[in-house]
Amino acid sequence: MVKPDSNYKLFIDGQWVDGKEGKTFKAANPANGETLATCVDAGKEDVDLAVSAAWKAFETWKHVSPQERSRMLLKIADLIDANAERLAMIETLDNGKPIRETLGIDVPLSSDHFRYFAAAVRTEEGQAVMIDQDTLSLILHEPIGVVGQIIPWNFPLLMGAWKMAPALAAGDTVVIKPSSTTSLSLLELAKLMNQVLPPGVVNVITGRGSAAGNHILEHPGFRKLGFTGSTEVGYTIADAAAKKLIPATLELGGKSANIFFPDAPWEKAVEGVLVGILFNQGQVCCAGSRVFVHADIYDKFLAECVAMFNQVKVGLPWEKDTQMGAIVNGDQLQKILAYVEVGMKEGAKVACGGKRITAGGLDKGFFMQPTILAGVDNRMRVAQEEIFGPVATFIKFRTEAEVVAMANDSEYGLGGAVWTKDINRAMRVANAVETGRMWVNNYNNLPAHAPFGGYKKSGIGRETHKMILEHLTQKKNIFISLSEAKIGLY
């Protein structure tokens, strides 16, 4: 079986280097507790070196033609595909997600992301406008500089692709930090990128958010920050960006509404509940965690979902028939179990699951039963707060207006779906729900080429689409007088 390296260093200026403070942390397999590797717990001096390397590289990278940048991104995509099995298995071992997901989703979506931006950058054009007969205005897109990026533990490889591919396409250089919970796949990706990119264009800093993460936020050398994570940390990122007067794009938390009408395509809809909340063990920012079901079908739909949840194979994530793997660590499992307790105290009923799994050789890992809390009121904490686990909250509704009001009664607005065969109703509901992504008769599809990002406290900016290039470039206006004549004012 594929194994990660036993030690990973920092990737700075095209070199693998030790941390200046000599601190390290262990990466552990959440499915069995085994240590996978030792990584560097970076400090301030390491961040300084990475930012300096990125600026040095920017001086040449910004002049590399779009054609050449595109070619390099395509080469990175090819290398990802050529190393798909290794990347997928390392992600599975480090994160706990099933190999069928890492091999079938995380890795191919990552390579496709590089291909999408390789293509997108070739279509980027400035503008030329004749302001009047004698005046030409040119608008040019220029790279913004060194970008600081911090990504979460739930999709480390894919979020790395989401962040780095557009930045490199735009001509920026990058200092990126994965979560200390799951650092390995990004470090593996850095090895591949090192075969293609000039030194310093991408720099990977590992370590704790409270150390390396905060040093990135405090560092004066960034021209933009990009972050995916919780809303609370999002405030901290926005604060740091404001103090430096630089832009930040933020993809934050969610509590998304997955809405089912009586005319939903039934079998696909039932599966849509599982796809919405069990994919990646429910550790997805846009998870369909609030399941709104029309009163006319509520009891039957709930019963069928319970039956399906009970059939899900929870198991060791590297086994091919495992449908749900391990929760990312013990802290997250404690949190999920505590939320189940909160729901019960609030009056919700556990329709299925609700407990940790230790039987069947899973006692050394952090496994959770697929869980449905039924009879939930939308104002309960379990319907308002992000549980970030395989816990669906079922809420009954009677009218379209009522369900739209409940869907919008949330501080978040990241994902959501409506399931119906009535196209008029689908469009009405999709338009009315305040969210950045509304699926119709599907869920959790996240390909490149469709913008993703949040309304309200779910974030600022959009990714997975060429519109992110707007955030990663600055606009130079060259204003040209074509006339030989004086203005005549003096």
Partner 1 sequence: MVTRETQVEELMKMPGAIAWCVLHGVSLFSCAGAFPGTVGRLLELKLVKDIDGFLRDLNDGVGQDALGGP
List of residues contacting partner 1 (CB under 8 A): 150, 152-154, 179-181, 208-210, 213-214, 227-230, 232-233, 235-236, 253, 283, 285, 331-332, 334-335, 337-339, 341-342, 381, 385-386, 388
For residues 143 and 94, give the distance between their C-alpha atoms in angstroms, rounded to a whole number: 34
Catalytic residues: 251, 285
Residue of 320, 317, 340 whose CA lies nearest to 328: 317
Q: Are 237 and 227 in contact (CB under 8 A)?
A: yes
In terms of CB distance, is 41 or 434 closer to partner 1?
41
CB of 391 to partner 1, least distance (A): 12
E strand residue ranges, 126-217 = 127-132, 135-143, 146-150, 173-177, 202-204
CB of 209 to partner 1, least distance (A): 4
Max Cα distance, the chain (Å): 89
DSSP string, 452-467: B--EETTEES-BSSTT
The tokens of 17 are what?
């280097």
E strand residue ranges, 144-221 = 146-150, 173-177, 202-204
CB of 236 to partner 1, least distance (A): 6
For residues 477 and 93, give the distance between their C-alpha atoms in angstroms, rounded to a whole number: 49
In terms of CB distance, is 457 or 462 closer to partner 1?
457
For residues 4 and 18, give the distance between their C-alpha atoms in angstroms, rounded to a whole number: 18
Specify the long-range contacts of residues 58-61, CB closer than 8 Å, at least 24 apart: 58/143, 58/145, 58/146, 58/172, 58/173, 60/198, 61/143, 61/171, 61/172, 61/173, 61/198, 61/201
Could you give the residue ranges of the DSSP H alpha helices within 35-106? 44-61, 66-82, 84-95, 99-101
CB of 219 to partner 1, least distance (A): 14
CB contact set of 116 (below 8 Å; sequence gap of 6+): 165, 448, 449, 466
CB of 153 to partner 1, least distance (A): 6
For residues 108 and 128, give the distance between their C-alpha atoms in angstroms, rounded to a whole number: 38
CB of 43 to partner 1, least distance (A): 14
Q: How far apart are the first and last CA of the chain?
A: 80
The tokens of 462 are what?
């959009």
CB of 339 to partner 1, least distance (A): 6
Ramachandran angles phi, psi of 261, nearest 5°: -95, 165
Which DSSP helix (H) or strand (E) runs through 293? strand 290-294
